[in-house]
Structure 1
Amino acid sequence: MAFVWGLFLAPKASYLTTEPLRTILQIGIFSLAAAALHVSGKSMLGISFLGAILINKLMLFLLDL
């Protein structure tokens, strides 16, 4: 995941992606992290993490940042 992040999603990424693809990849990677927390027995932490990600992306979209 760190390789994908560094290649496509980091601020100084080697390959720039369009905004819709960037958002989909970010949510996908963070969702995998939330799923890993859930599987490891930290369900509430995983749900909280996913909620924070979605709220963050929604606020960035609404504020046009």
Structure 2
Amino acid sequence: MQGLAGAATIATGVMGLLGTKNEDVERAILKVQSALGILNGVQSLANTLNKDSILMLKLK
């Protein structure tokens, strides 16, 4: 999932550098940013629930 979001980020960055500006590109950038936000949230939650995390050690 993270690799896919990274590839999409690269693609939208290239479009921006080449001056490709239109509504489709802007929507694609918004989707990539949203995907990265979701990915960061899931990763943060996974780190919190990791069996070796401080929270889990306190609960034990």
- Length-normalised TM-score, structure 2: 0.46
Higher relative contact order (CA 8 A, sep 6+): 2
- Length-normalised TM-score, structure 1: 0.43
Larger proportion of helix: 2
Q: Which is greater in Rg?
A: 2
